[in-house]
Amino acid sequence: MSSDKVRRNMPVFPIGIVMKLTALSARQIRYYEEQKLITPERSDGNQRLFSMNDLDTLLEIKLLLEKGFNMKRIKVMMAEQKHDYRTSYEVKEMLYSDVSELNRTTDIPINRGDLSRFFK
């Protein structure tokens, strides 16, 4: 493993710093952990410690939510990314592309929600 990968995976940031860097609340961060989107390590005192990769994941989640994706779709995208179904470049391209254009390429509605029962 390269030294850059080791550094990016090293758990060093407590939740207070992560909150400042991501502009997320502690509750949001814990929710994403409950949803298994991130897995911060724990210190001997049971304090969450986050790595740079965890920070990147949190920022990606935040961006996807701002673009209109729901949590179910985000979980699917993150699972695909973990299993290398898409290259890192393709994922980054999806994050910064127009949501309507992305929706056409994946053929999956972004927000099925409660309104889907009204359309056939």
Query: Is 38 contained in some domain?
Result: yes
Band (79; pLDDT cuts 50, 70, 90): confident
Domain that holds residue 18: 1-66
**Residues with Cβ < 8 Å from 102, sequence gap 6 or more?**
94, 110
Band (82; pLDDT cuts 50, 70, 90): confident
Query: Is 120 contained in some domain?
Result: no
The tens digit of pLDDT for each residue in 24-57 reads 999 999 999 999 999 999 999 999 999 999 999 9
According to DSSP, the residues that pair with 14 across neighbouring strands are 49
Query: Is 118 contained in some domain?
Result: no
State whether 26 and 53 are in the same domain. Answer: yes
How many CB atoms within 10 Å of residue 38? 22
State whether 23 and 2 are in the same domain. Answer: yes
Full-model pTM:
0.68
Beta strands across the sheet bearing 48-50: 13-14, 48-50, 41-42
State whether 57 and 11 are in the same domain. Answer: yes
CATH, residue 49: 1.10.1660.10
